Structure 1
């Protein structure tokens, strides 16, 4: 961990005490990464009484308490991810959502998952801008400005902004396979739907004059995991997108999971995290390629032809989700969920070490479990890798994972040295 930029983990008594080894919020550089908030009353430590509306309100209250505790406001939220147990509850959640974001709306992703911790009906994750940065004794000079953008060439929603840029990243709302002209799902199956999702992402990026190959991380949410090969066929027609990217066979880091349902009964939904080389004012305008993407793979972790293990840009590394695969054999490790969790984390550790970082540099961990009841067993292993409980964390139960795995883990890692400009 560098003394130049520091990982700053914080907790407040005004939000629920963590139910695992994690921190409520971990700031690094110009972002605060929050742990997903459950509808827990911080005073009682129990789920609030009532239905999904009451639970959604408590989730947002908890997020607001954390945001307030670090001297920020809800309009500093860049991205919201809503994990809901029943997709039919989204309308009720939206009623509550509007009361917390009455004017500015962040980017947003909504998925229905098979299970949530404590049998909650909803869990909400947030990413928050951090204008002052985390350089010790050297706060950011001048407030950085969030840049919001919507284009009519992609589907628009009153409840989310298509893209919100802050500092050196653009965070996009997850894109459904909606034709922006009709506002309806495109005709056809999963291939047509995947193509439309990626076309919508491309339209958003073109509207802010950013090339498709500036994407750092892709998350693919599938209704049926059996569709993954069809999705990949379409995926490879979009990536790599440029001659430069093709020359090095660049693919973004990627996470793919099966969820129980998606909005509008879609078969697929895709979200993207995008590099933003010129930054947001008052950062000095740089040539878009003045900062470079640093993509890296190591033989010490499993490789995937359609994903890079880690892609660094500016002060963050985004890792592809790691399965419990032995990198030497390419096979699933023997044993149960403990052994699988250990292998996922060993793979993450190998990737991090391959780019000269350490596990203490991790700021956010996302855990996808086939069986939510495995949380306690996973935590036994998790604590051996993160004994201080510093990273923020999200855990959801999903319908299916690649290779029939019981667990899959991805991570966001601080990158103190940043990425260099082209000489």
Structure 2
């Protein structure tokens, strides 16, 4: 059997994490039995943090356990195997994103999470997506801090939540923020006005920032997740009022299939305490935006907004009809931001790939993998919504078939 090149690269790195590493080193974490299904690393240690790829519910032998509770445990066991291989514990985990095929399983997932995080649960965002690779019903990625002494919970006075979630986790100077829903946590009421839903979610994020002596100007990256019931223009209009023009956080705005408890908007993200170590990074071909900076540098870490195969400029649009060529343009767009910060793809430690149709998974991997010739970053891949109709619009542009956001470390 021919072994894919990306597997050879990763397998060569196995065992290296058994040694103690200086904080400035970067290394792949590859637990025994791990079988990546694409050009990505199971885990990467970079600086103060361990980044963990999205893990599904399949066992090392490729089976999916029966029942959602067992599937969630297997998913978390897969995360734990990477954390353990890095000589850390689940208590070191400061942030997770949970992707559910069916948000009706939210309560079961929350119950199982409590078993794995009995003390201080990590900050958490949960969203419902259409499909995930290998037909897993749940996928979880994670960030862990290497020194447990750096981890501190941030909880506003009187904070209410329908789930046992830590609203914020401070890891050194980095604040990881849970997903805040446009839903009243006490009454469960979702305002009828979409703008009020957005404001409610942002108010809750603001409270947690304030509890850490921060505000929106400290934000470096935000994920707005919205359902079909949340107009994007309404979300953007309310959102933009909270940030300085041209100095907004990097952002990946992802329409999703569903959100927990019927919510239509959710905001999650990362902030840095020392604003002198924060700076927006904007390539010359990108004008300032009221809603997103192309990338934002937070000390040694660069957070880049999600990019698609959109060609910027006066005649901008998506001109490629197939996923391969759209990925090529996406990577070119991402490289613009990296180079503006003096980095390249070798500095990327984590990525999120949002794919229109998972039938294109192998095609996407074929192009994506060519940009990471040494150590591929960790990665989470999901299909947030049912596939779109692949037809040109009135301007002759094709629909977006993929979108990718990245994190890089100097």
TM-score normalized with structure 1 length: 0.85
Change (3 A) 1:414 1:166: same
Instruction: Give structure 1 stretches of 5+ with no counterpart.
Output: 132-142, 241-245, 278-288, 416-423
Matched, 1:294 2:310: no
Please report the RMSD computed on the Cα atoms of aligned residues, expressed in angstroms.
2.1
Distance 2:408 2:319 in 1: 25
Contact 1:323 1:407 survives alignment (8 Å): yes
Matched, 1:381 2:357: no
Change (3 A) 1:167 1:127: same
Matched, 1:56 2:64: no
Matched, 1:144 2:149: yes
Matched, 1:274 2:271: yes
Deviation of 1:252 (Å): 0.7
Change (3 A) 1:153 1:297: farther
Change (3 A) 1:102 1:230: same
Change (3 A) 1:302 1:65: farther
Contact 2:221 2:269 survives alignment (8 Å): yes
2:130 matched residue in structure 1? 114
Match of 2:56 among 34, 38, 42: 38
Change (3 A) 1:161 1:40: same
Change (3 A) 1:29 1:343: same
1:393 matched residue in structure 2? 379
Contact 1:302 1:326 survives alignment (8 Å): no
1:281 matched residue in structure 2? none
Matched, 1:202 2:206: yes
Change (3 A) 1:23 1:303: farther
Matched, 1:410 2:405: yes
Distance 1:382 1:187 in 2: 41
Deviation of 1:335 (Å): 2.6
2:169 matched residue in structure 1? 164
Distance 1:93 1:50 in 2: 15
Match of 1:20 among 18, 38, 41: 38
2:30 matched residue in structure 1? 11
Secondary structure at 2:149's aligned position in 1?
coil
Change (3 A) 1:403 1:270: farther
Change (3 A) 1:204 1:4: closer
Q: Deviations over 1:33-56 (max 9, x none)?
A: 1001011211x1x13231221211
Deviation of 1:236 (Å): 1.6
Match of 2:120 among 90, 104, 113: 104
Match of 1:69 among 69, 85, 92: 85
| Structure ranking higher on relative contact order (CA contacts 8 Å, 6+ apart) | 1
Instruction: Give structure 2 stretches of 5+ with no counterpart.
Output: 1-21, 389-396
Distance 2:157 2:23 in 1: 42
2:242 matched residue in structure 1? 238
Distance 1:362 1:200 in 2: 31
Deviation of 1:184 (Å): 2.0
Match of 2:183 among 167, 178, 184: 178
Change (3 A) 1:365 1:150: same
Distance 1:270 1:220 in 2: 5
Matched, 1:370 2:353: no
2:18 matched residue in structure 1? none
Distance 1:23 1:146 in 2: 25
1:331 matched residue in structure 2? 317
Secondary structure at 2:253's aligned position in 1?
strand
Q: How many residues align?
A: 379
Secondary structure at 1:184's aligned position in 2?
coil
Secondary structure at 1:238's aligned position in 2?
coil
Deviation of 1:403 (Å): 8.4
2:107 matched residue in structure 1? 91
Deviation of 1:75 (Å): 0.3
TM-score normalized with structure 2 length: 0.87
